Structure 1
Amino acid sequence: MTTGYFGIGIFEPKHETNMGTLWRSASLLGASFIFTIGKRYKRQSTDTNKSWKEIPLYHYQDLEDFYQHLPYSCQLVGIEMDTKSVPVEQFVHPERCVYLLGAEDHGLTKTVLAKCHHLVQLPGETSLNVASAGSIILYDRHLKSTLVPST
């Protein structure tokens, strides 16, 4: 993956402090933007790098607002524990995509899951903190994009 772009966001975030941590990880690991759906972000002390200077944060009022702004030819990748999810170890990241995480208390709704082009599951039997899950999927993309195939 030498071209393209990606963003990452949270659907109905439960704790606003997670946004600062996710923003910092997104900035460090090459995301083009971050976003929230359904809840406003407030500046958090967990964004110690002031990532807002590096990449933008978008806020969408609801799912309809978000879907209307999904970039052309961009795939929606849901990060969710689901029977249809591919283990992250086997997932091939799209060149242009948006990663969508659900809040820890309810995850992604069936309506959201139905709109996703891909579903990816992280290791473990229970859900992770949403900022941690986002950081893991971003690191997986980073790692796979920088690996040189062995000959």
Structure 2
Amino acid sequence: MQDPDARHHPETADEPAPAHGVGPWEGEWPADDRFDPELLAHGDRRNVVDRYRYWRMESIVADLDARRHGFHVAIENWQHDMNIGSIVRSANAFLADTVHIIGRRRWNRRGAMVTDRYQHVVHHETVTAFAEWARAERIPVIAVDNLDGAVPVDQAELPERCVLLFGAEGPGLSEDALAAASGHVEITQYGSTRSINAGAAAAIIMYEWCRRHAS
């Protein structure tokens, strides 16, 4: 499958350029090192906001780094959950500081839609290693799971600097992960299902954090 975020997509008679994105730069090229000559010459078909059209990938990351929010996202990865990619994509959309993958190093990147190129992602072998990192950074861990005693997120405290911890689809958070958290929140539901999709839940929680703290 062709990478949707390839450096450029030259048009051919048999394969027209995708409808999204922009074509080659028209007129005199900008004298700015942030711009990529290949993208200026061939067009930019990447899934990026207009602000970053024609920019080098490393320039985009540097600009994001200057504006990243105070929350991190952590995900337990014990069963190759396909939701991890969509959570990474949401973390990029909501400008999370870093995504922490706990457990298996390999994760399904399909749902990320190459946003992991712009999002810091780190790995922790175990929950213990992750918890030690959080303690060293003095950053509270907020577990997200619909368990007894969890506080509805619209009523809960979400610190400006924190880690939002999510479990795998189905089993949810492990006992070790729950024990590592200093707070537990849930999403209020109104229908018959016991839980909602992990990727959707993560996006809701990140949006709630941004609603309160993002400038």
What TM-score do you get using the length of structure 2 for normalisation?
0.61
The Cα shift of 1:15 comes to 3.9
Distance in 2 of aligned mates of 1:128 and 1:74: 27
Alignment of 1:45-124 (within 5 A): 45-48=110-113, 50-70=114-134, 71-124=136-189
Is residue 131 of structure 1 aligned with residue 199 of structure 2? yes
Distance in 2 of aligned mates of 1:121 and 1:85: 6
What TM-score do you get using the length of structure 1 for normalisation?
0.84
Whichever of the two has the greater Rg, that structure is 2
Deviations 1:12-70 (A, max 9, x none): 3534421221111101112001121112234523222x222222111111112212222
Aligned pair partner of 2:99 in 34, 38, 43: 34
- Runs of 4 or more consecutive aligned structure 1 residues displaced over 6 Å after TM superposition: none
- Over the residues paired in the alignment, what is the CA RMSD in angstroms? 2.3
Query: Structure 2: 5+ residue runs without aligned partners?
Result: 1-67
Distance in 1 of aligned mates of 2:151 and 2:182: 12
Aligned pair partner of 2:209 in 132, 141, 151: 141
Distance in 2 of aligned mates of 1:142 and 1:120: 16
Hey, which of these two has a bigger chunk of strand by percent?
A: 1
8 Å contact kept, 2:101–2:123: yes
Query: Structure 1: 5+ residue runs without aligned partners?
Result: none
Percent identity between the two aligned chains: 26
Matched residue type, 2:200: S
Q: Which has the higher contact order (CA 8 A, sep 6+)?
A: 1
Distance in 2 of aligned mates of 1:143 and 1:21: 20
Matched pairs, number: 145
